[in-house]
Structure 1
Amino acid sequence: MKREGIVKWYKEDKGYGRIMLDGEDGNHVFVHFSAISPNHETFTNGFRFLKQGQRVSFELVENPNSTDQKQVAENVMIIAD
């Protein structure tokens, strides 16, 4: 399911963060750097990261391998900074 949201926080040194679903502060999902779609214009050095406040689109998928992260973001694309 394709969704949009705003990056709540992202730890660049750790490679993960949280995205607020549709901008709702109380409703957010986990995002890992490997889920960010590579864009060679944005990520010139190949390292993928997000910044707090960026608007993104992503697919919301079930995460059967985790008990605390039931849904995660995949195929994350930056819409606006």
Structure 2
Amino acid sequence: MKREGVVKWFKEEKGYGRIMLDGEDGNHVFVHFSSIIPNKERFPNGFIFLKQGQKVSFDLIENPNSIDQKQVAENIIIISD
């Protein structure tokens, strides 16, 4: 299911972070850098990351194998900075 959200935080050095679903602070999903769709204009050096406050679009995926990460973001596209 395609959703939109706002990046709450992203640790570049670790490669993961959180996205607020529909921009709501109490409703977060996990994001890993490997789930960000590459964009040569945004990431010319190949290092993919997100920044706090960016608006993103993504697929919300159920993650039954995790106790604390029940839903994760996949196929992430940056909409605006």
Instruction: Tell me if both proteins adopt one fold, taking TM over 0.5 as the criterion.
Output: yes
TM-score category, normalised to shorter length: over 0.9
Cα root mean square deviation, aligned: 0.5
**How many Å separate the matches in 2 of 1:64 and 1:49?**
25
Render the CA deviation track for 1:14-59: whole Å, top value 9, x for unaligned. Answer: 0000000000000010000000001111100111100000000000
**3-state SS of paired residue (2:34):** helix
Q: How many residue pairs were aligned? A: 81
CA shift for structure 1 position 68: 0.6
Q: Which residue identity lines up with residue 27 of structure 1 in the other structure?
A: N
User: Residue 34 of structure 1 aligns with which residue?
Assistant: 34
* Corresponding residue of 2:59: 59
Q: Equivalent residue of 1:53, what SS?
A: coil
What is the TM-score when the length of structure 2 is the normalising length? 0.98
- SS of the equivalent of 1:50 reads coil
Matches of 2:38 and 2:65, distance apart in 1: 24
- Give the whole-Å Cα distance in 2 for the aligned partners of 1:17 and 1:75: 15
Superposition deviation, residue 10 in structure 1:
0.3
Look up the match of 1:69: 69
Structure 1, unmatched stretches of 5+, are none
* Poorly superposed stretches of 4+, deviation over 3 Å: none
Partner amino acid, structure 2, of 1:13: E
User: Under a length normalisation based on structure 1, what TM-score does the superposition of the two structures give?
Assistant: 0.98
Equivalents in 1 of 2:22, 2:4: separation in Å? Answer: 5
Instruction: Report how far residue 65 of structure 1 moved.
Output: 1.8
